[in-house]
Each structure stands twice: as structure tokens, then as C-alpha cells.
Amino acid sequence: MTDTAPPTSADPPKDQMPAKSFRDRWLALRNIGPFLVMVWRASPLLTIATLFLRLARAILPVTALWFGKLIIDEVVRLSGLTPRPDTLLGWWQSGEVARLTLLVTAEFALAVLSDLLARCISLVDALLAERLTMASSLRLMAHAATLDLEDFEDAGFQDRLERARRQASGRMPLMAQLFGQMQDIVTVATFGAGLVLFNPWLIVLLLTALIPAFLGEAYFNAQSYSLDFRRTPERREFDYVRQTAASVETAKEVKIFGLNGFLMEIYARLSLDFLVANRRIAQGRALWGALFTGIGTIGYYIAYVWIIGRTLTGALSLGDLTFLAGSFLRLRSLLEGLLFSFSSTAAQALYLDDLFDFFNVTPEILSPPNPAPLPRPIRKGFTFHDVGFRYPGAEKWAVRHLSFTLNAGETLALVGENGAGKTTLVKLLARLYDPDEGHITLDGQDLRDYALEDLRGAMGVIFQDFVRYNLTAADNIAVGRIEARTDHTRITKAAERALADKVIEGLPGGYDQMIGKRFRNGIDLSGGEWQKIAIARAYMRDAEVLILDEPTAALDARSEFEVFQRFKELSVGKTAVLISHRFSSVRMADRILVLANGTVEASGTHEELLTAGGQYAELFELQAAGYR
């Protein structure tokens, strides 16, 4: 007898399509600064370490190449000596190879140092990536906790959240890429300085040859992002179907109804759509990439021919030839990698838009700057003053012109057909939503005047669709007041009050037993057993206001009677709201509120409502007839 689910709304226009223009794609680079701030905050020490190590390694390539030039020039000089020794031992004894030996030893040391630095960089980057993943995920979880229920019930927001989740853990390569770019820029500067000394036009030729490939890569990276962005809803469906086809929660129905083929068909269709779209981009990238790479190769060999010519005319030594040819080749590779890397960075910066866009979502339901103290105990109760509310994007009002009082210390039952507004009323009471019309007061003061943490902390709410946490039995109860997780006495008392103690006693590990089948050694419970565990959470909270929304739907009649008898006993002195589809349960309430079409149709005790006739009497008779 809960309400129908609130309708979802479409994404705002800016979420329907990503930025397409070249300018907009590169404007996404504004995300690099905030991203590097995130990296720094994740671990300042590791960030400094990786920058220092990369700086040291950046100057090694040109240094090693220069030593190679010196070695070749020295070999050429020694080869021209007359007379010269005929054996290696003779060369050594002559003392002529002392400088050559020193140069070779230095080059060897540089090679060892380069390998050592590379391994240190990999280690530091791996540790920093782990820190960044943890920090990003924690920040995402913390921000999500501040957002409104309205956001989570919107399909467009779910797409945005899914993209943000992927980026929180999926942008780690970007971190290494950015640091690698810094390292390569230093290396390029050292190689470039060497080439400029011989001929500045070599640099111009190199850049001219590489720019077309860079622009092509930027275009295809943007195309890949556009595809990923547009396909977010389908990707969520893709993941959902894959999970549904092989999970403990769905295995029974999939087998009984023979759904495997049906689900595989959906999965294959979605996979094929992804494959066709990705193949189109990959083919274009391969075709144009081959053309642009050919242009770069032509540029390289033009420069190479010039270097050979200068060597043949005697303007350059063999060592100079080796150094210039090697520098040009390495510089071409580095610049090509840098340009492609910059293009990839711009594409990944677009993905960061998804993460920072999520962080920019702000809640509408907030605590006031100077909240009023919550009354403890509640003296008067809650009053709905002509309250109206409709879910975002819905035309129909969920509740309207709703006026009544939930008195302090009263147990109030809500009755009505599906969609009557019962669960919506509970959401409004807990400020999961705010009314669009009218207002709700607690002891005469608007609910908006109280701090959200205080208001919700005073309520113990268990919904029909409660969460089945794959945690220990103790933790499943402790979530009702998680700060008291280590208070075992409080947990056991809550279990006893909810009649869940017998369930837990039957578990091999007792309160330490993992329940749910998601993890190893977990034991699943029946629906009724799960509900008793969930009800224990409300008692664990020890709140002034208890709200049970269809809490016993999976219990048999005897268990339900026992639970509500216990609830009646334990709610003495507390304010309680009860929603149930069984009239044998609601009749024990102090007062029953009958809702129809989002408003109060009748109010009174069980006997008064039966005498008055109307919807309550009709529904009672219909249910009673089923037991005759």
C-alpha cells in the first residue's frame, strides 16, 4: 500500500549532448587545474616525489645521447692515430683509451640510473593513484550524501552519477599522463636546445610535419567522448542486464521463467550497437592516422638527408651525425607523443567534466544557517498545514490540501489504496522532500527551521523497500544508529525488541555472521527474517518518532501480530506512524488516518471508522471477506 514511484525527469539540455565544437573541447582543459589540486591533496609527499624523480629522469636521454656522440668522436680520433696498438691489451697499456673508458662507464651508469628511476616512478605513481582513487571516491560518496532524494529518483541524475562514478576511479591514467607530459616537456627542451644550436629550421620542419596528426587525434578523441556520453543510459542498461542475468538476487526467477535467452538477446543487441559505433571511430582513426603518420615520416627523412649532407661536406663530425640523427628521431617521437598526449588529455578533461559536474550539483533541502533547537521531548507533535506536493516532472499531485496533526505520544496508522499518498507523507515528515504548498510544523515551528541532522536523528524510519546490507547481523542492526556500532548491548536489545534475536541465534556465527549471499560465507535469510532485522534498526535508533512503512509485508499472520504487539508496547510515550495493508494491525493504533487521492478522507479509531462507513469500512470488509 505504498505510493507509486515518483516519475523521472529528462536530463537538462546540457546533459543530452556533450560539447562538440573544437573550442568547447579545449575549454575542458580548465579541469586540469582542479584535478591536479585533487592529486596534491591526495598525497603532497608522493606528488613531490614523483615530480622530483621525473625531473631527474627527464634530462637523462639527451645526456646519454651526448655521451654517445663523445664516444663516437673519441673512437674516430683513436682510429686515426698512427701508429696505433693492434690489441685491446695494447690499447689499455698505452693509456690512450682512458678517456673512452670513462665515457663508456658514464654512459653505463646513466643507463642503470634511468632504469632505477623508471622503477621508482612506477612505484610512486601506483601508490599515488591508489590514494587518489580513494580520495576521489570518498569525496564522491560524501557529496552524494548531501544531495536530495529528488536527485536520486531522477533518471537523468542517475546517468550523471554513473558517469561521475566511472571518472572517480577511471581517471588515474590521466595523472600519470600529466606527470609524464611534464617530464617529456623537459626532455624536449633539452633535445630542442641541441638542435637549435645546429639549425633552428629542423624544429620548424618537425612541428609542421606533426601538427596534422595531432589535430586528427584530437578530433577522434572527441568523437569517442561524444559516443560515451550519449551512450550512458544504454551503458547503465548494459550493466544492469549483465548483473541481472547472473546474480544471486535474480537467479531463481531467471531459471524458473527461462529468462537467460531473453537477457542474452538484450545484452547482445546492446553490445552490437556499441561495437558498430566504436568500430566506425576506430576505422576513421586508423585511416587518417596512417596518412598523418606518413607526413611525419617524410618530414623526418628530409631532416635526415640534410644532416647526412652536412656530414659528407665535413661540416659535421660522425659524432655530430649520430647526436643530431638520434636527437631528431627522439625529438620527433617525443613531440608526436606529446601532441597526441595533449589531445588525449583534452579528451580526458572532457570526462573530468562529468566528475566536476556532479560535484557542482547542490542540494535544495538544507539546514538553516541558525537552526532552532529540536524539542526534546516533543510536546505537541507534527501538524500538516494545507500541504501540497508533487514529484518533479509529474502533473498529478501526490498529496494536496493535506491538513492533520500527529500528536506527541500518539500512534497514528495510515490507510489507503496504492498512490493515496502514504509514503509521500512519511517522506515529507522526514524532510526527504519539502512541500510545494503549505508547510509542516513541529511543536509549532516550521520543519525547515530545524537542522536536518537533528530532525532525522529523532526519527526511526523503516520503509517496505528497506536495504538488505551484505554485512554482519550486528552491523545490519547497527546501521540504525551507526555511531553506536560498538555498543553490543544496545544491538542485542534492539534485536530482542524486534523479535530478531531468535533469527540471529540460529545463525552459525550469531551476531558476527555475514548475512546475504554476495560475499563468501554469507547466509541468506527469508523475507520475514530480513524484515525483523530491519525493524530492529528502528529500535536501535531509540528515536522519539518511530515510522514503520509496511514493515511486516513478508511476515506470516502470527509473526506480524507478535511484532505489532511488541511495537505497541515499546512505542508507549513515543510518537509513532504505522502504514500497513492489514487491518488487524492498524486497528491497534490510537487513531487511523484514511487517505484518498492525496488528502485526508476520514480520521478516527477503528470502531469509529467502521461505524461511519466510507472507504475504510469498504476496504476492511473486502479484506475480512477473504478470511471467511
Residue ranges of domains in the chain:
13-359, 382-458+546-628, 467-542
pTM above 0.85, yes or no: no
**527 pLDDT tier (thresholds 50, 70, 90):** confident
State the Cα–Cα distance between residues 235 and 435, nearest whole angstrom: 34
State the Cα–Cα distance between residues 19 and 25, nearest whole angstrom: 6
Task: Report DSSP letters for 121-170, one per residue.
Answer: HHHHHHHHHHHHHHHHHHHHHHHHHHS-HHHHT-HHHHHHHHHHHHHHHH
* More confidently predicted of 47 and 192: 47
- Residue 147 is placed in which grid cell? 544531495
State the Cα–Cα distance between residues 336 and 222, nearest whole angstrom: 18
- Asked if 13-359 and 467-542 have one fold, the answer is no
pLDDT at 442 over 90: yes
pLDDT at 263 over 70: yes
CATH superfamily assigned to domain 467-542: P-loop containing nucleotide triphosphate hydrolases (3.40.50.300)
- Region 587-610 average pLDDT: 87
**Cα 142 from chain centroid (whole Å):** 11
What is the share, in percent, of the chain residues with pLDDT greater than 90?
A: 16
pLDDT at 211 over 70: no
Q: What pLDDT score does 512 carry? A: 92
State the Cα–Cα distance between residues 16 and 548, nearest whole angstrom: 39
Q: Which fold has domain 13-359?
A: ABC transporter transmembrane region fold (1.20.1560)
pLDDT at 14 over 60: no
Q: Is the Cα torsion angle 156, 161, 164, 166 positive or negative in sign?
A: negative
Q: What is the DSSP letter of 2?
A: P
In the predicted model, what is the mean pLDDT of the chain? 79
pLDDT at 258 over 80: no
Q: What pLDDT score does 220 carry? A: 64
Q: What pLDDT score does 22 carry? A: 54
Q: Domain 382-458+546-628's class?
A: alpha beta
Please state which of the ranges 1-10, 126-135, 348-357 shows the lowest mean pLDDT: 1-10
Q: What pLDDT score does 199 carry? A: 64
- Residue 223 is placed in which grid cell? 568523437
State the Cα–Cα distance between residues 391 and 286, nearest whole angstrom: 49
- Region 369-384 average pLDDT: 91
- Region 53-80 average pLDDT: 83
Q: pLDDT for 162-205, tens place per residue?
A: 777 777 666 667 788 888 888 888 877 777 676 666 666 666 66
Please state which of the ranges 468-477, 561-570, 590-599, 610-619 shows the lowest mean pLDDT: 561-570
* More confidently predicted of 590 and 2: 590
